[in-house]
Structure 1
Amino acid sequence: MPAYRSFAVLGGGTIGLPIVEALASRNVSVVLFSRPGSSKKTVPSGVEVAELEFTDVAAVAAALQQHEVDVVLSTIATAGTKGQMVLADAAKLAGVKLFAPAEYGLPTDADTDGPLGEKKRVAEYLKTLGIPTVRFYTGVFIEYVPWLTGYPEHNKIRIVGEGDAPASFTAVSDIAGFVAHVLTTLPSAELENRVFRLEGERRSFKELARLFNTTIEHLDRIPGEMGEFKTLLTAALSSGAGSTGWDVANKREGSGSSAAGSAKVFWPDHQWKTIKEVLKGRD
C-alpha cells in the first residue's frame, strides 16, 4: 500500500492545479486550499476546494486535521515564500507526515540571498520542526521559455550573460505527473528528506536560439515588466546555475543522485516532453 493516502495542495496556480489533477487520477484523497477571493478553480470530481487564509496557523492546522492530511504540498508563488513558515507551523500542529515546500525551480541547497535563499530557509525551518520534507528541483518550466526570453515578441532570445551553460527545462505536466507518481508509489523511507532533480530537456540559451532558428541578444539588463527577475534568472541560467544538478556551494555539476535529471530513474517508462513538443505553435 502507498505510504500516504491524503494530500493537501496549497495554492492552485501554474503548478498547483496540475498536481491536484495528477494526484486525483491516482485514487487518493486530495483537497485544494486556495486563498479567499482567488479565482474559481476547476478540479476533478472528488477533489474538494476550500478557501483558507494562509496566514492563520490555527485555521490551517484545523483544516489539515479535518481532512486527515498526510502530505502537504505548497505551491505558493515565489513572492509568498516567507508565508510557508506559517504553513510549516500549522503542519506541525496537525501532525502532517510529509511536507513538500514550494521549490519547483533551481537548486536552493546553498543560496542565502533573494527568493532562492528564502526557499532554503523554509526547508531548514521545517527540519527544526522535525517535519520530513520532499523537495523537487525542476529547472525552468518549458511553458515559461517564451515569456523569459522575449521570444517570439522580439524574434530573438534576450538574455543576460553569454548563454553557453546548459540549463534544465521541464514541462509542467511532467512535473505534476512525477510528483504524483513518486508520492503514491515510493515508501516513506525513499521520500523523507529527499531531493528529486528533474530535467525534461537540457539546453543552453545558444542551443535554444538554434532550435528556434533565431539569434541571441545579449543585454546588461532586461527591461519591461518583471525585468529585474528576468535579468537575475537569465544570468543564473547563463552561469550554469540553471541546471538541477548544479552544486551551488562549489559552483559545479553534481554527479550520481545529485546529477541533473537523476530522479528520472523513479519513473523509468515515462516519455519526457521536449521543448519543441510543448512550444509547438508558439514559435
Structure 2
Amino acid sequence: MTAPLTIAILGATGDLGSHLLCAISEHPKAQDVRLRILTRPTSTETAHNLLARYPTLYVTVHAIDYSATELGLDAALHGVDVVLSAVRDDSDLTRQDVKHSGLLPGFLAQDAVARAAKAAGVRLFVPSEYGSPTHLMSLDSDSYVVGKRFHHELLRELQLPYLLVYSGSFPEVEPAATPLPPQSAEAPIALGEPPFETTRAHLAVYVIELILDRGLDSVAGEIHVLRGLRRDRAIVSAETGKTEWVLDG
C-alpha cells in the first residue's frame, strides 16, 4: 500500500487555492492525500466553509499568524511532503507603498513558510508563480515582480527542492472549465487541437497531476509553462461605454 502524501496549501481560500482543492478531490488518488490548510486566523471560517464543498477530502486547518511569529508553522508542517503556495496579497499595498511584490504581506508569509518547510523536511515547494516567467530575471531588476525572483534565491539558499509552473495571464473573464488535454513529450497537443483557454482550473489540474502522477522527486527542479489558446479580446460596450472582455467563438 502506498503511503499517503501530505500536502500543505498556503492560500487555499483564494481564487487558485479553491481550484487546487477541487483538482485534488477529483483526482483518482485523492484518498491517498492528506491535506493541511495554512491560513490566517481571520480566514479560518472562510476555509472551513470552503472545505464543506469537499467532504471526501482528508483535511485539517491550521491558523497561522505570520505577522507576529513563525511559531505554529513547525507543527503545521511536521510530516508534510509538499507545500503548494497559492498566495495572493489582499493588503491593498501598491508599487507606491513597497518597492517590489516580495515585500507584500502575502509573499512575506510565503518566505516564512519556506524557511519552516526546510526545517520540517518538506520534499518539494511550489511557490506562487503562475504568471510570466521570472526565474531568469536579474536580481537588480526594477520590475515590481522581482520579489518572486528573490524568493527563488531563498529556496536555493535553503536547498529546498522546488517546482516552477507558469501559465501566463488568465483571461479577464474565465470560460467554463474544460478537460485539460493529456500531453507528453512524445505526443504534444497541437495548438488548437482541442482548443482550451488557460484558466485557474486548468492550472490547478496540471499542478496536481504533476505531483500525484509523476511524483515529487521527478518534478523537483523542473520548470513548466502551461499555455492554451488566447481567445479573449476586449470590446467597448455600446450600453455602458466601458471596456468588457468576451470570448471569441
Q: Return the TM-score normalized by structure 2.
A: 0.67
1:153-172 equivalent positions in 2, closer than 5 A: 170-172=198-200
1:20-169 equivalent positions in 2, closer than 5 A: 20-25=21-26, 26-27=30-31, 28-38=33-43, 40-41=46-47, 42-43=50-51, 44-45=54-55, 46-55=58-67, 56-65=69-78, 68-78=79-89, 79=104, 80-111=106-137, 112-142=141-171, 144-145=172-173
Question: Structure 2: 5+ residue runs without aligned partners?
Answer: 90-103, 175-195, 237-245
With 33-42 and 118-127 compared, the bigger mean Cα shift is at: 33-42
Asked if residue 208 in structure 1 is aligned to residue 207 in structure 2, the reply is: no
Counterparts of 2:144 and 2:112, CA distance in 1: 17
1:229-268 equivalent positions in 2, closer than 5 A: none
Contact 1:20/1:32, CA 8 A, preserved across alignment: no
Matched to 1:63, the amino acid is: A
Q: Secondary structure at the match of 2:146?
A: helix
Matched to 1:174, the amino acid is: H
Contact 1:57/1:89, CA 8 A, preserved across alignment: no
Contact 1:53/1:60, CA 8 A, preserved across alignment: no
Taking a change above 3 Å as real, the CA distance of residues 189 and 70 of structure 1, as seen in their structure-2 partners, is closer
Q: Secondary structure at the match of 1:136?
A: strand
Question: Structure 1: 5+ residue runs without aligned partners?
Answer: 147-167, 216-273, 278-283
| The one of 216, 223, 238 aligned to 1:195 | 223
Cα displacement (A) at 1:40: 1.3
Q: Return the TM-score normalized by structure 1.
A: 0.59
Q: Secondary structure at the match of 2:7?
A: strand
Higher fraction of helix: 1
Counterparts of 1:131 and 1:99, CA distance in 2: 7
Taking a change above 3 Å as real, the CA distance of residues 115 and 22 of structure 1, as seen in their structure-2 partners, is farther
The CA RMSD measured in Å over matched residues stands at 2.8
Counterparts of 1:2 and 1:275, CA distance in 2: 43
Taking a change above 3 Å as real, the CA distance of residues 36 and 30 of structure 1, as seen in their structure-2 partners, is same
Counterparts of 2:197 and 2:118, CA distance in 1: 33
Q: How many residues end up aligned between the 2 structures?
A: 189
Contact 2:19/2:200, CA 8 A, preserved across alignment: yes
CA deviation profile, 1:28-49 (whole Å, cap 9, x unmatched): 1112111111251211123222
Identity fraction in percent: 31
